[in-house]
Amino acid sequence: MKILVLNCGSSSLKYQLIDMDNEAVLAKGLCERIGIEGSKLTHKPEGKDKYEVESPMPDHKVAVQMVMDALVDPVHGVIADTKEISAVGHRVLHAGQVYSDSIVVNEDVKRVIRECFDLGPLHNPANLIGIEACEAAMPGVPNVAVFDTAFGQGMEEKAYMYAIPREYYEKYGIRRYGFHGTSHSFVSKEALKFGELDPKAGKVIVCHLGNGASISASIGGKCVDTSMGLTPLEGLIMGTRSGDVDPAVIQSICNKEGKTVNEVLDILNKKSGILGMSGISSDFRDVQKAQGEGDHNAHVAIEAFIYRVAKYIGAYVAAMNGVDAIAFTAGVGENDKPIRGAVCSYLGYLGVEIDDEKNKVRGERTMISTPASKVKVMVIPTNEELAIARETLALV
Ligand code: AMP
């Protein structure tokens, strides 16, 4: 059975066609600059050359059609007919408090996605257009919504409530939701298997460290806590996001610079994090290079990033009253030996011991702790597309 996975962002669309008989990726690609001048499709069929098409994509509907055309293209395609696609799995950002699991899309599901536009203003509208474009292009083929917020629905009230007047939760659903849920769910379950832990009681901390960064605590794959909140701004220091700040910082900048709250929020989302702290880049490699050349601000940015991850790990060990495994994933987590090593150097009190040789790994599932380590520390590459395809397969 072949499953198409779609991940629609505000101006982009990422896709993978996966053969679920062997979980092999048949083709993957990206539509960029949707709705902007200079739209481009980059299609990578397995075993064939990359194929690029520059053609206007006024909306996601046109982009979906271009993906279909590329998949069945006589030269660059990988299937003869779109009828070979049995189902489409969609990454959908926000389901509010309605869905804690993936679901086959019907009119009710679309209504919920629409009702959550204000909680996910950049993504939910694009996600819905992607679903409707697939309904139009492939009538009768089931669409499955896999929600980024589903994993966080496992949190108890004490973890998801903000300590603000309860009426805002009741009126507007203002609470912590958590994001990167597909990744945390996938990696935590893989960690349970890889670490040969109790599938129902194993305590796992997943550090998803990429341009967006978040951390989760889960027991038996069920979320206990996760660092992102109402929006992905809360929690760890990220490429361009500040993570946790005292909300009075916003008031202070507004007053001193004559900016609106929305303008300062934009700064906290897009110009902060290691970019804002270093003044150099949002890419860890650039900032580490500058750190190596003696740049003080770059050094502080990287040290603060590591320190915040370590603090959250400490908090999550307390939240779960223990931890069996810590798993690193995403761009930095999978590839960056010094950052993994530096985070773990804070964790000696937990009996964490890292094998320096094994920690050299990049992008491969590896146990990087020593056999004597009291906590299993591992690198587990995330694979959100495969996780979405598996969820889709299970439902259709
Ligand atoms: P992601 O958002 O998961 O794609 O992660 C992007 C971040 O991962 C960027 O800041 C990159 O600097 C970092 N990254 C990607 N590859 C490597 C690598 N080989 N070594 C160190 N950092 C990396």
Whether pLDDT at 11 is above 90: no
Residue labelled with tokens 């609106």: 260
Whether pLDDT at 118 is above 90: no
Cβ of 381 less than 6 Å from ligand 1 = no
Average pLDDT value for the chain: 96
Distance (angstroms) between ligand 1 centre and the Cα of 272 equals 17
Cβ of 331 less than 6 Å from ligand 1 = yes
pLDDT value at position 119? 85
Q: Is residue 171 very low, low, confident or very high in pLDDT (cuts 50, 70, 90)?
A: very high
76-106 pLDDT tens trace = 999 999 999 999 999 999 999 999 999 999 9
Q: Which of 69, 108, 148, 355 is catalytic?
A: 148
Whether pLDDT at 17 is above 90: yes
Q: Is residue 231 very low, low, confident or very high in pLDDT (cuts 50, 70, 90)?
A: very high
Cβ of 283 less than 6 Å from ligand 1 = yes
Measured by CA distance, the residue closest to atom 4 of ligand 1 is: 331
Distance (angstroms) between ligand 1 centre and the Cα of 2 equals 30
Whether pLDDT at 280 is above 90: yes
Percent of the chain with pLDDT over 70: 100
Instruction: Indicate the domain borders of the chain.
Output: 2-147, 198-379
Task: Tell me the one-letter amino acid at 134.
Answer: C
pLDDT value at position 9? 84
45-86 pLDDT tens trace = 999 999 999 999 999 999 999 999 999 999 999 999 999 999
Active site residue 148: yes
Whether pLDDT at 111 is above 90: yes
Residues 369, 341: Cα–Cα separation, whole Å = 10
Distance (angstroms) between ligand 1 centre and the Cα of 276 equals 17
199-222 pLDDT tens trace = 999 999 999 999 999 999 999 999
Cβ of 305 less than 6 Å from ligand 1 = no
How confident is the model over 244-273, as a mean pLDDT?
Answer: 97
How confident is the model over 105-113, as a mean pLDDT?
Answer: 97
Cβ of 273 less than 6 Å from ligand 1 = no
Fold match, 2-147 / 198-379: yes
pLDDT value at position 379? 98
Whether pLDDT at 121 is above 90: no
> Token pair for residue 135?
């309904």
Cβ of 360 less than 6 Å from ligand 1 = no
* Fold of the domain spanning 2-147: Nucleotidyltransferase; domain 5 (3.30.420)
Write down the architecture of domain 198-379 according to CATH. 2-Layer Sandwich (3.30)
Distance (angstroms) between ligand 1 centre and the Cα of 108 equals 38
Residue of 215, 332, 359 with the most ligand 1 atoms within 8 Å of its CB, for mutation: 332
Sheet holding 85-92, edge to edge: 51-54, 40-45, 24-32, 13-19, 2-8, 85-92, 143-147, 103-104
pLDDT value at position 183? 95
